[in-house]
Structure 1
Amino acid sequence: MLVWLLAILAVGSGAAGVVIYRKRLSARRAMLAQDAEESLRECREWRDEVAATVVQALADGRWISRDNVEALIDRRPRPSTSMRMLARIHGRGAEGRSLLDYLGTDLDQVAESTNRQILEEELVARKRFLDTIESQPLTDEQAAAVITFDNRVQVVAAAGSGKTSVMVARAAYAIERGIVPAHRILLLAFNKAAAAELQDRIETRLRAAGINADGVRADTFHAFGLRVIGRAEARKKRLAPWLEAGQDVEMIERIVDELRDSSEDFRYKWDIYRLLFSGRPNTPDGGTPDGYDAATATRGYRTFNGEIVKSEGERLIADFLFAAGINYRYEEPYCHDVADAEHSQYRPDFYYPDVEVWHEHWALDRHGNPPATFRGYAESMRWKQNLHRTHDTKLIETTWASIVDRTGFQALADDLKHHGLSIDWNPDRPAAGATPMKHKDLARLVRQFMAHVKSNSLTAEALEQRLKNASKEVPRYRAGLFLELYWAIHVEWQKRLAEADAIDFEDMIVTAAGHLESGKVDMGYDLVLVDEFQDASQARARLVKALVDKPNRHLLAVGDDWQSINRFAGADLSVMTAFNDSFGEGPTLRLEKSFRSTQTIIDTAADFVVKNPRQFKKQVRSSQPEDGPPASLVLVRNPYERATALAAVLDDLARRVRDGEIHPRAGQRVSVDVLGRYNFDKDLMPRKTPTELDVSFRTAHSSKGLEADYVILPNVTAGKLGFPSEIADDPVMALAMPEPDEYEHAEERRLMYVALTRARRHVTLISVRGQESAFVVELLRDGRLTRSPLSTAEAVETCPRCRRGTLTMRERRRDSKKFYGCTSFPSCGYTRNVDDAPF
């Protein structure tokens, strides 16, 4: 009533005011009613569109994709206020409430339930296609991966689970169902052999199915990148000739030689890094002992000169002195007898007999502090410094901080010259002890670093920022030195590319991705299928994303994180583990039925690889009816017996074939793959192999994607060139590489998984007693290996302390008493008397 009176006062008193108010009220109500009706109409149309989408999808057997759902979400109307307020007034109350409720529909659930029904119906309706498109009928897992035609689909495929069959059938399904025409389908592989196999398989299987495959194309990433660049720039690029010949590391060496010849500064920095800084820890208490001095029963760090020193800092000094041609003695007793009740006779770190100068190297950081665990260190320093003052002996002092900052070496050289010593710098002086890093190895490190820098489009500024933000594991001073060397080489590399009017592998991908992202070119593919997705780099991920970054385009990425073994070449496992973050929402499917290996091999390999918690969990099942025997370990007495052992294993397999214990597959000989960690393992192969067997040697890396009846790993031993390889990545690689996997030997563990799962029937490992690799020790500890009767060495026991080595009998030099010691010595010093615990 109050509102009515105020309205009348506003327009005037009397009957005329009431009439005016009523007209205005009526007009307002009419406008609200019209607005409400318009809003109701929009809601009805949207509801009908959703319903029609579902009905049509079910009728056509066509997947409701993520793009379909997003389009419906984008068109979802917003109900007007008038619709909410006035629906009841116009008799639309029930319909209005119903429509308002429908607007809250979870379209993801609608699509999911509809697609589930489509999948079930398509499995039945397309059974003949699914059973015949490949040589063997597709499994339910494979068929689901073919039919699940969402915009972004990742398939996590176990070894031997038929991922290629999925890719072939997916392309065939898209063509046959009219989803994507053949000429708009692209398959991407990582090497020429894989691309050629995909192309041949597509053409052969689709032809057999009566499907026209004309236009379907399988390419390597690099070949496709060149096509993109040629289309975008109207000028085809060519690969640099030295890369075509596989001479990339050699080109880095040539560039380095020229830079060393033209610049004394570059030469010195290159030598300092190669000899002293590569792989060194970042703190004075870091590092792992790698040497043993039997005379003093001391574990420590072996120098180029051959002695064992007590710290990494002392090794840095000793190796510098060796390269500088300085005559020195390590821990020479002090020239005065200063032993007392609290101190043994003083032995300074270094002594220079030619000039009678002593040298102490202090484990101090840049703030002048020793490691917190070094108790009484400051007091010991003061005592030693006072001795030199008291006895008026000449003392040179260096600190860890100054040495790792490089400035300490120049200061040390100046001090030595001041005291009358001459510097005869020879970085290639033959070493009697530890082996200096080779020029080629440092060149290889630079090339690997370059691959990551280019793939991740990192600038000098970006790397400097990464260095500032780096964790303590990245040695900042030495990393800074490496970056100085790297950018000098990088500039020369790019100069040579320009002079040759050529391009390198990384620029092929990065440049192509840039053209696609900018819209300068559109290659027009609506379905992209990527093989071995676990090996994709960030650059490859950019290219793939740019290819499908338009509405109604489809990506199927197939990979196995358990087989990610190419991080050194730029692979970034996070491309797979964070698939949806990079490419958009979509289902992740699994292929967990293996058509290759026995269940025993599968379980052994799976349990081994998933020790790393970052790996996807899979429940892999074998299609074979029998579990098969466990893996065998042939243990020999010394490294020279490995070749004999390999020949014995091959001869034993051949005998069992002759005796009818082993039956070849129809029309084939029994196949055996001998898988080495390195190419030089091929030297263990016998000159002639048994005629009953088809024997091949491969490296474990090159075996991926292949299979054989039997697999033999001929050299599963410990050491830098063992399996696992103990050649650690230089810490500077962390600046350019993907986030590191902190699990020990993570990539080597995956490589072992690849090697194990190449076998259909059985795996044999050959190792040396006392040199068993950490992987052999672990497999023994887990009960996954049985000792082969072909072994010539006795059984082994795992070290109870480190659990990484085994116990082997040794003899003490001083009294010839026998004891058991850990094979991981000197990093593990566990010992046990023979009488205490006989084997």
Structure 2
Amino acid sequence: MPQTWTGRTGWTLTCDGTRLTLAADGRTETFDGLEAARIGVSRLGPRRALTVAATDDAPARRLPGLTGRDASEITEAVARIVTRGKLRGALLLAAERRPYFERLLATRVRKQRWIAHDDAAAILAGLPRHADVLALLTPAERGGLETLLSPEERTALAFLAQDHLAQVSRANDEILRRELATGRPFFARVEKSPLTEEQARAVISHDNRVRVIAAAGSGKTSVMVARAAYAIRRGFVRPERVLMLAFNADAAKELQERVDSRLGALGLPHAGLKASTFHSFGLALIGEATGRKPRIAPWVEGGRDVEKVQEIVDRLRDQDLDFRFKWDLFRLLYGKVSAAADGGEPDSYDPTAKRAGFGTYRGETVRSEDERLVADWLFLHGVDYRYDEPYPRNVADHAHGRYRASFHYPAAGVWHEHWSVRADGSPVEDVRGYGDVMAWKRKVHADHGTALVETAWHSIMDHSGFEALARDLERHGVALDWNPDRPLPGAEPLEHERLARLMRTFMSHVKSGAVTRESLRDRVAANPAFDTARTRLFVDLYWRIHDAWQSELEATRTVDFDDMLLQAAALVEHDPRLARWDLVMVDEFQDTSRARARLTKALLRDRGTHLLAVGDDWQAINRFAGADLSVMTDFAAYFGPALTRRLQTTFRTTQTTADVAGRFVSRNPAQITKSVRSARGAGGAPVTVVRVARHDAVPAAVEAHLARLSASSRPAAAGRTTVDVLGRYGFDQKLVPARRFDGLDVRFRTVHRSKGLEADHIVLPNVTSGTYGFPSTIPDDPVLTLAMADGDAYRHAEERRLLYVALTRARQTVTLVTVTGRESPFVLELLEDPDVEVVDADGVPAGEVRVCPGCGEGTLVRRDGRYGEFYGCSTFPRCHETARV
């Protein structure tokens, strides 16, 4: 009820709960909400007065004649109105939204229909945080809320204090519990084998964005098929509004066949439900939107894209001498620079000088990678040089030994010192007195009148110093004759095909990420490590190839896959009506590129669309083909708030194999944690490592193993036993015996092509160290990081996942073959696992393998030396660890 106070001097102040009305001096004023703070009470001795604070338009006023009791009541009323004024907007919004939110939870639980995040978020949108609301109040105001607010306002404030998403989660847990119970007959029949509880949980979780992390062999296809059937059966979607996207044509065909078969068996409608590859879907979408379905370039569709790059390069080299020179320069010199920040690991050894180092094109061993660049540059220019040449005069003194120069050019009598210093003059390595040594050597040449040219580490590693070196040598009469086709007796260069493949990989990432010339230039300029002559040369070559590629597409009126996906995404972004699917499911999500991710996101309307993305970050092995693992690992950052479900029961491998593979891949802390359980229960044969003495003994060891499997295989009536021999490279096929084995169906595949497949037994025939070992030590060129997603910094991260894929193809046993002294570092890790055994070529348990204590990546092997036998690290010359016999 309104309350009025009257002053003895004739003024009145009325409070109606939300405002104050003051009548004084013949006029009436209203003070709403926060304006009420202008009303106050002053005291001068025993006298009290009502005060009105000044504004820009009116002076302050003092109205006497206020009693002490009225003063207290007015002070309380002002505090109540001001506090309510501060909270009014938030409390009105909370009071409005609360019944909708509570009705959503109650209705959905009653109907057993999942509460999607976006449905709850639409109701909760704009609600302020409880803490932010309280921050508007003074401590005194916060302490008096119980008396200052009405019961309705206190209820609204309490609603703001609730964890709404936790309430949604609890309600969904109850829906899930009820659905698992009432839907048990459906989940038992939807696939040929009943769904597990974790599979059923993934199916029921009909949220807007669900990420399903599925272990190898955990039945992810069953979840996708069951999700389609469940959503149609419950009336959530119509069949023609379900879209299933797969990574390749085989997977799309299997999805379509499975969904048609299973929904048909259940009597559910499925006409119009579409399973497609991203590529087929994108082409159809463009055709629908533009009236003209594009055609994929035949060299792209046929998998001859690297060959096309080589054709373009050959044509450009024939037509343009500048391109030819730059291509050969990068291939022969720039392309050999290690991706490692420390300059790479030694790959050669000079027994005469007893020096580990880097092999040159001429066949010698130099100390450092930058010296190799100088030596190779000289060789390709036809320069006769001597490396580490002794100075002809005896200049040794008490502080300096015999002087040997980096390079010497005997025909011109010119000496060349290559200094290991940075641009600021500091030594690359922490060598005490290095500056004094440089000064002494310069003085030697000055004192004896010998010609000296100089280069430095920093200008050679970024290749900016070669032009100055050329000028200096020519000034001293050294002829330079560049010949990229000169026979190379020593080290191998970067092959044309490999550089073409690098260009094609770079192109895939540039296109997928919609990287422009300007943005690429900005990336180079923003990172000093990339702002080098090497990077600028690569980028220049790339755009020449890119432009020629695009010209060929235009001339043939075709597109490539990346351009097509981006065009499809842009069309949907421009016209959201093209996105007419309510349920979108994506398979093999760990292999999704940024172009695929953009198209997927475009298909998701602001509200009402449901995305189910199924994949396994442990099986992400296609970064080279444009895949961006962060699309899956940072799923919410790409697509919005998401729910994660896990499939951790494998129906393929034994528990032993699952444990070994899981422990191995989980050494990388960046992998998403999973605990994989075998549906068969505990046990299973150990993972076996067969260790042979020499590489040429590998085929015989594989043959002997297959013979043992043949002898122990099941009778023919029970079906043939399948054996997949998985090579890291296609040329590993030569290690597979040609003859047939009774009862066995033996097939060779590369590990990459084995993904999604399985066999009774898996054999990996060449798990050794080296450039073409497993892991492959062919590094990604550092320029790729300019265009592609950030890679995993863990050593051999993708190769580790590749071996995990190989291990988890097996239903029964896994056997790895390695060579003594050339064991893969992966083998050395596996040997630490209690569920891994080591045998010889005959299957007999082998002796202990001694891991090198120095590097941890090699083994100690017996060798003959000057003083007899000793143990040395198998990775020599990279590691010099030795031990006594």
Question: What is the TM-score when the length of structure 2 is the normalising length?
Answer: 0.86
For 2:571 and 2:756, the matched residues in 1 are separated by 32
- Shift of the 191–633 alpha-carbon distance from structure 1 to 2, 3 Å rule, reads same
Q: Within 5 Å, which residues of 2 pair with 1:22-101?
A: 46-74=97-125, 93-95=150-152, 97-101=154-158
For 2:679 and 2:218, the matched residues in 1 are separated by 10
Which residue of structure 1 lines up, in the alignment, with residue 26 of structure 2? 11
Which residue of structure 2 lines up, in the alignment, with residue 528 of structure 1? 584
For 1:68 and 1:283, the matched residues in 2 are separated by 50
Which residue of structure 2 lines up, in the alignment, with residue 229 of structure 1? 286
The reply on whether 1:216 has 2:222 as its aligned counterpart is: no
The 10-residue stretch of structure 1 (782-791 or 485-494) with the greater mean CA deviation from structure 2 = 782-791
For 1:52 and 1:72, the matched residues in 2 are separated by 11
Q: 2:181 aligns with which of 118, 124, 129?
A: 124
For 2:257 and 2:742, the matched residues in 1 are separated by 31
Which residue of structure 1 lines up, in the alignment, with residue 564 of structure 2? 508
Deviation for aligned residue 1:784: 4.4
Deviation for aligned residue 1:370: 2.2
Q: 2:876 aligns with which of 796, 802, 825?
A: 825
Larger Rg: 2
Q: 2:328 aligns with which of 265, 271, 276?
A: 271
Q: For 1:669-688, what per-residue CA distance to the aligned partner results, in whole angstroms no more than 9, with x for missing partners?
A: 21111100001001111112
Q: For 1:276-331, what per-residue CA distance to the aligned partner results, in whole angstroms no more than 9, with x for missing partners?
A: 11251489962211111111211111111110001111100111111111121111
State the secondary structure of the residue aligned to 2:25: helix
- Shift of the 318–41 alpha-carbon distance from structure 1 to 2, 3 Å rule, reads closer
Which residue of structure 2 lines up, in the alignment, with residue 802 of structure 1? 855
Deviation for aligned residue 1:43: 7.0
- Shift of the 606–400 alpha-carbon distance from structure 1 to 2, 3 Å rule, reads same
Which residue of structure 1 lines up, in the alignment, with residue 734 of structure 2? 683
Deviation for aligned residue 1:104: 4.7
RMSD over aligned Cα, in angstroms? 3.0
For 2:90 and 2:799, the matched residues in 1 are separated by 62
The reply on whether 1:262 has 2:268 as its aligned counterpart is: no
The reply on whether 1:394 has 2:486 as its aligned counterpart is: no
Identity %, equivalent residues: 49
Q: 1:591 aligns with which of 618, 633, 647?
A: 647
State the secondary structure of the residue aligned to 1:524: coil
The reply on whether 1:781 has 2:832 as its aligned counterpart is: yes
Which residue of structure 2 lines up, in the alignment, with residue 607 of structure 1? 663
Q: 2:171 aligns with which of 103, 109, 114?
A: 114
Deviation for aligned residue 1:46: 4.3
Is the Cα–Cα contact under 8 Å of residues 612 and 746 in structure 1 kept in the other structure? Answer: yes
For 1:396 and 1:523, the matched residues in 2 are separated by 67
The 10-residue stretch of structure 1 (642-651 or 334-343) with the greater mean CA deviation from structure 2 = 334-343
Which residue of structure 2 lines up, in the alignment, with residue 449 of structure 1? 506
Is the Cα–Cα contact under 8 Å of residues 97 and 124 in structure 2 kept in the other structure? Answer: no
Q: For 1:478-522, what per-residue CA distance to the aligned partner results, in whole angstroms no more than 9, with x for missing partners?
A: 112111111111111111111111111111111211212222651
The reply on whether 1:298 has 2:346 as its aligned counterpart is: no
Q: Supply the AA of the counterpart residue of 1:802.
A: C
Q: Which has the higher contact order (CA 8 A, sep 6+)?
A: 1
Q: Supply the AA of the counterpart residue of 1:9.
A: A
State the secondary structure of the residue aligned to 2:863: strand
The 10-residue stretch of structure 1 (779-788 or 143-152) with the greater mean CA deviation from structure 2 = 779-788
Which residue of structure 1 lines up, in the alignment, with residue 533 of structure 2? 477
Deviation for aligned residue 1:170: 0.2
The 10-residue stretch of structure 1 (645-654 or 278-287) with the greater mean CA deviation from structure 2 = 278-287
Is the Cα–Cα contact under 8 Å of residues 781 and 798 in structure 1 kept in the other structure? Answer: no
- Shift of the 242–622 alpha-carbon distance from structure 1 to 2, 3 Å rule, reads same
- Shift of the 52–306 alpha-carbon distance from structure 1 to 2, 3 Å rule, reads same
Deviation for aligned residue 1:261: 2.3
Deviation for aligned residue 1:428: 2.4
Which residue of structure 1 lines up, in the alignment, with residue 637 of structure 2? 581
Gap regions ≥5 residues in structure 1: 14-31, 835-839
Number of aligned residue pairs: give it: 804
The reply on whether 1:440 has 2:497 as its aligned counterpart is: yes
- Shift of the 763–549 alpha-carbon distance from structure 1 to 2, 3 Å rule, reads same
Which residue of structure 1 lines up, in the alignment, with residue 51 of structure 2? none
- Shift of the 553–279 alpha-carbon distance from structure 1 to 2, 3 Å rule, reads farther
For 1:56 and 1:539, the matched residues in 2 are separated by 39
Deviation for aligned residue 1:785: 2.6
For 1:73 and 1:533, the matched residues in 2 are separated by 30
Q: For 1:720-769, what per-residue CA distance to the aligned partner results, in whole angstroms no more than 9, with x for missing partners?
A: 11100000011111111111211100000000101001111111000111
The reply on whether 1:488 has 2:547 as its aligned counterpart is: no
For 1:475 and 1:634, the matched residues in 2 are separated by 47
Q: 2:801 aligns with which of 734, 750, 767?
A: 750
Which residue of structure 2 lines up, in the alignment, with residue 618 of structure 1? 674
Which residue of structure 2 lines up, in the alignment, with residue 670 of structure 1? 721
The 10-residue stretch of structure 1 (112-121 or 745-754) with the greater mean CA deviation from structure 2 = 112-121
The 10-residue stretch of structure 1 (776-785 or 156-165) with the greater mean CA deviation from structure 2 = 776-785
Deviation for aligned residue 1:341: 3.2
Is the Cα–Cα contact under 8 Å of residues 672 and 709 in structure 1 kept in the other structure? Answer: yes
Deviation for aligned residue 1:102: 3.9
Is the Cα–Cα contact under 8 Å of residues 601 and 756 in structure 1 kept in the other structure? Answer: yes
Q: For 1:537-575, what per-residue CA distance to the aligned partner results, in whole angstroms no more than 9, with x for missing partners?
A: 122111111111331100001111111111111111111
The 10-residue stretch of structure 1 (295-304 or 39-48) with the greater mean CA deviation from structure 2 = 39-48
Which residue of structure 2 lines up, in the alignment, with residue 23 of structure 1? none
Q: For 1:160-217, what per-residue CA distance to the aligned partner results, in whole angstroms no more than 9, with x for missing partners?
A: 1111110000011011111010001111111111111111111111111111211111
For 1:338 and 1:726, the matched residues in 2 are separated by 44
Deviation for aligned residue 1:45: 6.6
Q: Supply the AA of the counterpart residue of 1:762.
A: T
For 1:617 and 1:261, the matched residues in 2 are separated by 53
Which residue of structure 2 lines up, in the alignment, with residue 17 of structure 1? none
Q: Within 5 Å, which residues of 2 pair with 1:516-555?
A: 516-519=572-575, 522-555=578-611
Deviation for aligned residue 1:402: 2.7
- Shift of the 421–147 alpha-carbon distance from structure 1 to 2, 3 Å rule, reads same
Q: 2:701 aligns with which of 645, 648, 651?
A: 645
- Shift of the 593–325 alpha-carbon distance from structure 1 to 2, 3 Å rule, reads same
Which residue of structure 1 lines up, in the alignment, with residue 784 of structure 2? 733
State the secondary structure of the residue aligned to 1:556: strand
The 10-residue stretch of structure 1 (589-598 or 246-255) with the greater mean CA deviation from structure 2 = 246-255
The reply on whether 1:811 has 2:864 as its aligned counterpart is: yes
For 1:250 and 1:43, the matched residues in 2 are separated by 64
Q: Supply the AA of the counterpart residue of 2:11.
A: L
Is the Cα–Cα contact under 8 Å of residues 599 and 624 in structure 1 kept in the other structure? Answer: yes
- Shift of the 353–99 alpha-carbon distance from structure 1 to 2, 3 Å rule, reads closer
Which residue of structure 2 lines up, in the alignment, with residue 837 of structure 1? none
For 2:298 and 2:470, the matched residues in 1 are separated by 43
Q: Within 5 Å, which residues of 2 pair with 1:353-432?
A: 353-371=410-428, 373-432=430-489
Q: For 1:420-477, what per-residue CA distance to the aligned partner results, in whole angstroms no more than 9, with x for missing partners?
A: 33323221222221101111111110100111111111112211221223374x4733
The reply on whether 1:351 has 2:351 as its aligned counterpart is: no
Is the Cα–Cα contact under 8 Å of residues 237 and 503 in structure 1 kept in the other structure? Answer: yes
Q: For 1:361-418, what per-residue CA distance to the aligned partner results, in whole angstroms no more than 9, with x for missing partners?
A: 1122233332251322211111111111112122221222332343422332333333
Q: For 1:612-650, what per-residue CA distance to the aligned partner results, in whole angstroms no more than 9, with x for missing partners?
A: 110011111111134112111111111111111111110
For 1:357 and 1:164, the matched residues in 2 are separated by 71
Is the Cα–Cα contact under 8 Å of residues 579 and 604 in structure 2 kept in the other structure? Answer: no
Q: When you count strand as a share of all residues, which structure comes out higher? A: 2
The 10-residue stretch of structure 1 (204-213 or 368-377) with the greater mean CA deviation from structure 2 = 368-377
For 1:818 and 1:123, the matched residues in 2 are separated by 69
Which residue of structure 1 lines up, in the alignment, with residue 750 of structure 2? 699
For 2:333 and 2:129, the matched residues in 1 are separated by 68
Is the Cα–Cα contact under 8 Å of residues 660 and 833 in structure 2 kept in the other structure? Answer: no
Deviation for aligned residue 1:263: 2.5
Q: Supply the AA of the counterpart residue of 1:323.
A: L
Q: Supply the AA of the counterpart residue of 1:701.
A: H
Which residue of structure 2 lines up, in the alignment, with residue 20 of structure 1? none
The 10-residue stretch of structure 1 (463-472 or 788-797) with the greater mean CA deviation from structure 2 = 788-797
Is the Cα–Cα contact under 8 Å of residues 691 and 838 in structure 2 kept in the other structure? Answer: yes
Q: 2:710 aligns with which of 642, 645, 654?
A: 654
The 10-residue stretch of structure 1 (252-261 or 749-758) with the greater mean CA deviation from structure 2 = 252-261
